[in-house]
């Protein structure tokens, strides 16, 4: 489970490698993303060497969005998935872009409007654990690089299951755990030695990028994540490792 009980009976959770009160995590994560929002796109390209675009492209291909469908992009961050989905569902479809952080949501809203993406996108500030939508509403739900920042992942999975239509699919694109020792060692060296330094030099915020690196290591591995999806009632749960397992795309269905 993500949440643990301390001696004083106050529920706590991980914030990177720190243990914090569960009630405080959303606010702490919010501060991180408020800080990194102005340089978020640039840092994504630099940190991933541009690979995040290929990872997202694969997730989009697996979503198989069609004209007229209704898609939910949770913790939408950069809005990269929303932008493509909006073109795929067309004028008769709808894409709901959510993020818990107002600064991130506003920045991505402005970016998509500048790109001419307007009519079929609805922007909602929302917590993934308590999605403010009706049951059985969406054809597909996606969350890319956002689940590891959620305080209660089980609650978020249940919330996403609730709003999916029967026959709908959930796609979770997230940093994961490379199974090969050599890749893991190189990845750890790059993550802990270089990424915080990049954050310091480019985004002027070493601490936030130190948290982001640590949050990846605290996220459940591929098999644990698949089991969490099964517990949340998803069926036909599978995952695909990308870039040697640095990232994994998890897929599950609601029947």
What does the pLDDT look like over 32-76, one tens digit per residue? 887 887 787 888 888 898 999 999 999 999 999 999 999 999 999
Spatial separation of the C-alpha atoms in residues 181 and 186, rounded to whole Å: 9
The answer to whether residue 197 sits within a structural domain is no
What does the pLDDT look like over 117-143, one tens digit per residue? 888 999 999 999 999 999 999 999 999
Q: What domain range includes position 99?
A: 37-179+209-253
At residue 7, the pLDDT reads 53
CA-based torsion, 57, 52, 149, 245: positive or negative: positive
| pLDDT exceeds 60 at position 112 | yes
At residue 3, the pLDDT reads 45
Minimum mean pLDDT range among 90-99, 164-173, 195-204, 232-241: 195-204
Of the pLDDT bands very low, low, confident and very high (cuts 50, 70, 90), residue 1 is: very low
The answer to whether residue 184 sits within a structural domain is no
Q: What is the CATH number of the domain that holds 145?
A: 3.40.50.150
The answer to whether residue 115 sits within a structural domain is yes
Q: How many domains does the chain have?
A: 1
Chain mean pLDDT for the chain: 92
Minimum mean pLDDT range among 157-171, 172-186, 191-205: 191-205
Strands of 235-242's sheet, edge to edge? Answer: 121-125, 94-99, 70-74, 138-144, 164-175, 247-253, 235-242
């Amino acid at each position: 489970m993500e949440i643990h009980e301390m001696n004083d009976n106050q529920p706590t959770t991980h914030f990177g490698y720190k243990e914090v009160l569960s009630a405080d995590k959303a606010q702490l994560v919010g501060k991180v993303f408020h800080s990194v929002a102005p340089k978020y796109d640039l840092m994504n390209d630099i940190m991933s060497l541009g690979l995040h675009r290929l990872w997202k492209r694969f997730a989009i291909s697996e979503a198989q969005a069609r004209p007229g469908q209704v898609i939910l992009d949770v913790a939408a961050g950069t809005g990269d998935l929303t932008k493509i989905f909006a073109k795929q569902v067309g004028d008769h479809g709808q894409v709901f872009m959510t993020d818990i952080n107002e600064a991130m949501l506003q920045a991505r809203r402005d970016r998509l409007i500048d790109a001419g993406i307007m009519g079929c996108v609805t922007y909602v500030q929302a917590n993934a654990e308590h999605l403010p939508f009706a049951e059985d509403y969406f054809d597909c739900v996606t969350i890319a690089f956002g689940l590891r920042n959620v305080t209660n992942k089980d609650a978020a999975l249940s919330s996403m299951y609730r709003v999916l239509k029967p026959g709908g699919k959930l796609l979770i694109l997230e940093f994961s755990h490379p199974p090969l020792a050599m890749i893991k060692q190189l990845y750890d060296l790059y993550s802990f030695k270089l990424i915080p330094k990049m954050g310091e030099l480019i985004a002027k915020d070493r601490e936030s990028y130190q948290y982001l690196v640590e949050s990846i290591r605290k996220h459940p591995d591929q098999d644990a994540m698949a089991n969490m999806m099964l517990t949340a009632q998803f069926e036909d749960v599978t995952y695909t490792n990308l870039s040697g397992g640095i990232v994994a795309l998890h897929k599950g269905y609601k029947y």
